[in-house]
Amino acid sequence: MSFARPFLLAALLLWTGDLVAQVRSVATSDVFSRYADRVVKIQVVETGSAAKATIGSGFFVSGSGHLITNYHVISKLIHDPDRYRAELIDVAGAVEPVEVLGVDVVHDLAVLGSALRPRAHFALGSVRIAQGNRLYSLGHPEDLGLSIVEGTYNGLLPHTRHPRIHFTGSLNPGMSGGPTIAEDGRVVGINVATAGNQLSFLVPVDRAETLLDGVLTPGDEPPARTLEEVGRQLRDHQDAYLRDMFAGNTKMVDLGPYRLVTEPAPFFRCWADASRRQELPYEKVQHHCSTDDYLFIAGDQSTGVIDVEHEMISTKKLNASQFFSLYSSVFANDNTPGGQEEHVTSWACGTRNVRNASLPMRAVLCLRRYRKLGELYDGVLKVAVLGREDSGLVSTLTMSGVTFENVDRLARRYLERISWR
């Protein structure tokens, strides 16, 4: 269901060559020798077995031992603080325990504190940089030792809900949380994800600056540290962008005799496809919108995906009984996101024949709850429009990691907006 997941998977699997940073210019080795001691390896260790559970990178941002890394590097610690501890290993090999001082789950960032007093650190501040400029990424790819990767700044991604810098360079697992800097040592972004083939992504530095400010000078609302606070961050974040989704001015698309919602927000991308195969006595047209980005929670559980899928089938050759047998099987198709017992409950589903102002339909809602992230749910609404004998429409709205109020509101709006053309 999620498009983000194969994306991430590609990142893990496609990587084969180019492991060591390209030594193209003299400057690269200069950059490395100048800034290497500000970058550390972060590892999350299972207390019982003393085995490494996660490895990432981080970098010093203050003289008093503050570090920036990704939320997903230390997420296990947030989920299970009794079972895990985190530590840093600096360039000299010294091991030092670290604690989480604040996280931003939405932008995938965390501020860590340590007793270490680094000789030098990066100063965070907004940077202006032109597309095509050379950048250097530092980190510990696959736990192979501190490496430097040279690449190019390619601006912000156009279709994301959260800002992401498109970095053309080879990031690898383990480099997460490391800095990507300009030649002069200014931090541009924090390594966060890759889609392989030098297609990599950074979190813009100003997000890290904001989080660090929140930690250093806590105001009314100090940054989240516990799972409960992470849940609150997720809820606050979604409330803002889901408030108007599918409301009055939503874009609509016509598919056969049906009028349906499309592109719920600018950061959605939509695809359409039709299959008209000679050997099949029916036709299928698909329309699919989803967000590229998702929020990492823990393990392989991610959330924050709103996904809209319309599947229209029509026939001129099947009789009503045959067509509806096909329609039933398309409708009963399971396209709900997977999950693990550790994170979510089983699904509970309810079915009704529902009529809105325009047409009758069969509607199913399947709901499950996140076990540890309070008050967050996954909801899948499936609708099959009734009333025609030669065409049918199965429409699915997938909402992951949202509050029940949002499930309820979005599902209701979605049901109300389906109509005849």
Q: Binding segment for another protein among 107-115, 222-230, 268-276, 363-371 (CB under 8 A)?
A: 363-371
Which position among 110, 203, 312, 366 is part of the footprint of another protein (CB under 8 A)? 366
Closer by beta carbon to another protein, 180 or else 396: 396
CB of 277 to another protein, least distance (A): 10
| Contacts to another protein from residues 390-409, by CB under 8 A | 392, 404, 407-408
Burial 274-296 (b: 16+ CB within 10 A, else e): eeeeeeeebbbbbbbbbbbbbbb
Give the separation between CA 233 and CA 157, rounded to whole angstroms: 23
Element housing 10 (H / E): helix 4-13
Which position among 22, 33, 226, 340 is part of the footprint of another protein (CB under 8 A)? 340
Closer by beta carbon to another protein, 273 or else 341: 341
205 counts as binding another protein under rule CB under 8 A: no
Closer by beta carbon to another protein, 131 or else 346: 346
Given phi > 0 = left and psi -120 to 50 = alpha, else beta, which region is 152? beta
369 counts as binding another protein under rule CB under 8 A: yes
341 counts as binding another protein under rule CB under 8 A: yes
Closer by beta carbon to another protein, 250 or else 345: 345
384 counts as binding another protein under rule CB under 8 A: yes
CB of 59 to another protein, least distance (A): 37
Q: Is 345 helix (H, G, I), strand (E, B) or coil?
A: coil
Closer by beta carbon to another protein, 214 or else 392: 392
Given phi > 0 = left and psi -120 to 50 = alpha, else beta, which region is 304? left
Rg (CA), the chain: 24
387 counts as binding another protein under rule CB under 8 A: yes
* Cβ count near 206 (within 10 Å): 15
Burial 85-105 (b: 16+ CB within 10 A, else e): bbbbbbeeeeeeebebbbbbb
Q: Which residue in 200, 36, 27, 29 sits closest to 122, CA to CA? A: 36
Q: Where are the beta strands (DSSP E) in 106-229?
A: 109-114, 134-139, 147-156, 165-168, 179-181, 187-194, 199-204
CB 71 within 8 A of CB 105: yes
Element housing 40 (H / E): strand 39-46
Which position among 238, 303, 336, 396 is part of the footprint of another protein (CB under 8 A)? 336
CB of 108 to another protein, least distance (A): 24
| Contacts to another protein from residues 296-325, by CB under 8 A | 315, 317-325
Q: Binding segment for another protein among 44-52, 142-150, 222-230, 336-344 (CB under 8 A)?
A: 336-344
Give the separation between CA 66 and CA 135, rounded to whole angstroms: 23
Amino acid, single-letter form, for residue 180: T
Which position among 52, 243, 251, 355 is part of the footprint of another protein (CB under 8 A)? 355
Binding mask 246-285 for another protein (x = CB under 8 A): ---------------------------------xxxx---
| Chain contacts with another protein (rule: CB under 8 A) | 279-282, 315, 317-329, 331-334, 336-341, 344-356, 359-360, 362-371, 377, 379-380, 382, 384, 386-387, 389, 392, 404, 407-408, 411-412, 415-416
